[in-house]
Structure 1
Amino acid sequence: MKDYNDLQSLRFFVSIVESGSLSAAARQLDLTTSALSQRLRQLETNLGVRLLDRSTRRIQLTEEGEVLFQRGSVLLKDFEELISDLRERSGQLVGALRIFGPLGFGRRYLAPIVAEFHSMHPDLDISLTLADRFSAHASDRFDLVIHIGELQESNWIVYPIAPNSRVLCAAPQYFQENPPLERPEDLTHHQCLVLRENDEDVTLWQFSQGDDVRRIRVTPSLSANDGEVVKQWALAGKGLIVRSEWDVALNLRSGSLVQALPDWKLQEADVVALAPHRVGMPLRLKTFVTFLQNKFKPTPPWRK
């Protein structure tokens, strides 16, 4: 690319593609749109190829642009990892730390922990993404994924964070207005509220009592893709829910929700951290995982 700043040009180009537009990338890079557009034109001139098709509202990669983006993204990530690894040899925690977590748990527990960790290591660039659905296709965008519940087949390294049970519960008024609930099979005569998430079979509820395992297919009277919505329905007396202990522990203590079938155990939903396999775990990631684990020891806050 002649005497042009190759690395900076590549960063600008990758940022444009990831942001989806020149204006969004310019805001992220603290440049004017015209200045960024000029840098892009210069890059194309130096390479002798057209990288983006600007004939539509959305930027569209040319074949050459797709090659540069795919391979350039990997090169940038490897270069940044190399610089960070070298600096971390002196004990500094630097570089980027990209974390994904579930929405509700992330807001209540993960966000304040991340803020505290950043205060201790202000040279880190930490990005926290919260959502109720994690796509395997996005796995290469994150250094650490916080996961709750059953694990699918994965080649990621699993770090235990905290124990967490699932609880069947409802508001006191619901129990007053509906038939007795004495065994899992009775659920077929009750109003059940279901959270749709992560492509799980959410209407199949499994209970165990020793070696006795019972799988009950419930017909939801209401369902939603937001855990807070489902819990609010339960608090309003609309039906029974299966929710994580971390989410309903305070409600159970206050009596606004009451556990049903306490002698029957639901499947565990422990909190874990997932990190991709790589040669040599970065110090910043190792330090954060240890910090996160210690925040839930010896007892997680929902069991205190």
Structure 2
Amino acid sequence: MISTEDLHFFIMLTNAASLADAARKLGVTPPAVTQRLRLLEARLGMRLIDRSGRRMVLTDEGELLASNARRICDDIGNLADTLASRRGSVAGHLRVIAPLGFGQRYVAPAIAEFRTLYPEVNASLMLSDRPASISDDMWDLMVHIGELRDSSLVSRRLAPNRRILCAAPCYLARRGELRYPDDLRAHDCIALRENDEDVTMWRFTPKDHGAPANVRIEPVMTSNDGGTVRDWALAGLGIISRSEWDVAEHLNAGRLVPLLGAWTQPDADIVALISSRHGRSLRATRFLELLHASVLQQPWLPRNGSEHPERGKCAKDPRADGSGARATAV
């Protein structure tokens, strides 16, 4: 026998490029994914995926299971939504995907609050550095930050979010200030790799409406974790271009300093994407309302009387001991 969790697991596999990719999306190790697939195949008594090459290829039986799994999961979800709506309750399985750092800091608390308000809802939050790569049959709602490549997805703007070029005061004292974007070529730059974006092309527009400037940086360090990138900058290791939500408190306290004030970078608004399959459920609609009300307040921005400048020192890099497993230096 197989369960609906098995069906959801197999759907995830069919949407992944490899077992390692599936492991990243599920937040587990590749051996754990391989073992779960073997157990599923053993229960069914048939091979579902050909793993002899570098890519996964569904067998005929795997194709049959995948197509029926999607239909069954959709039917179960729709039935649960219909029954819940008839009795006027919010129930079912709420599945949310969000970026790593923002999801931990703002989406996870919102889900906890939502679960308290609607105890009949089961909720799962998947944090990923590449959320846009996950098929919409795996989620009800996705939080996305930055450029939206698929314009066919229904989206709702949650909050504005600027990109800010910044560095620690001790780095600037050691390496000097910047006057123009081209000055970045002579500095240590740190890049965040996420959403398959071209992270080494930094774009600037002058506030006086002059000609834009695009600079191809050569990062000295990269990571797929925004917190790691921010902490490297706080430690005085280089210049970063980060979302305002992630660096606002450090800018306010003077631990980071904004650079190139006469120039702006493209905004990276925070939006909610709604699944075409599941995003119209009552639970998804109610959670979107709660999340929008929470994020719209932009809790990362300083409030009156909250400024406590601490300029001049660099923070110790908490990942200097090698504990930052996701960090990659180049």
| TM-score category (smaller protein) | 0.7 to 0.9
Structure number with larger C-alpha Rg: 1
In the alignment, residue 116 of structure 2 is paired with which amino acid? S
| 1:166 counterpart = 2:163 | yes
Pick one of 135, 139, 142 that aligns with 2:139. 142
Deviation string 1:58-89 (CA, Å, 9 cap, x unpaired) is xx975235303322332232232123223213
Of 81-90 and 138-147, deviating more is: 81-90
> Structure 2 vs 1, CA of residues 53 and 71 (structure 1 numbering), >3 Å: closer, same or farther?
closer
Partners of 1:22 and 1:84 in 2: CA distance: 33
- 8 Å CA contact 2:132–2:144 kept in 1: the answer is no
Matched, 1:83 2:76: no
- 1:11 equivalent to 2:8? Answer no
Identify the residue that residue 195 of structure 2 maps to in structure 1. Answer: 198
TM-fit CA distance, 1:239 = 1.0
Q: TM-score, normalised by structure 2?
A: 0.74
Q: Classify 1:296/1:141 alpha carbon distance in 2 versus 1 (closer, same or farther; 3 Å).
A: same
Pick closer, same or farther for the CA change 1:16–1:192 going to 2, 3 Å: closer
| Match of residue 178, structure 2, among 170, 178, 181 | 181
| 1:72 alignment counterpart | 69
Partners of 2:175 and 2:265 lie apart in 1 by 22
Residue 300, structure 1, aligned to residue 298, structure 2: yes
Q: Distance in 1 between matches of 2:177 and 2:256?
A: 16
Distance change in 2, residues 1:10/1:68 (3 Å): farther
State the percentage of identical aligned residues.
39
1:109-258 pair list within 5 angstroms: 109-208=106-205, 209-212=207-210, 213-258=212-257
1:70-119: CA deviation from partner (whole Å, max 9, x where unpaired): 22332232232123223213220011111000000011111011001001
Runs (5+) with no aligned partner, structure 1:
1-7, 26-32, 42-49
Question: Which of the two has greater helix per residue?
Answer: 1
Compute the TM-score of the two structures, normalised by the length of structure 1. Answer: 0.80
Change (3 A) 1:16 1:200: closer
How large is the Cα RMSD of the aligned pairs?
3.2
The whole-number CA distance in structure 1 between the counterparts of 2:279 and 2:184 is 50
Unaligned stretches of 5+ residues in structure 2: 14-31, 52-56, 304-330
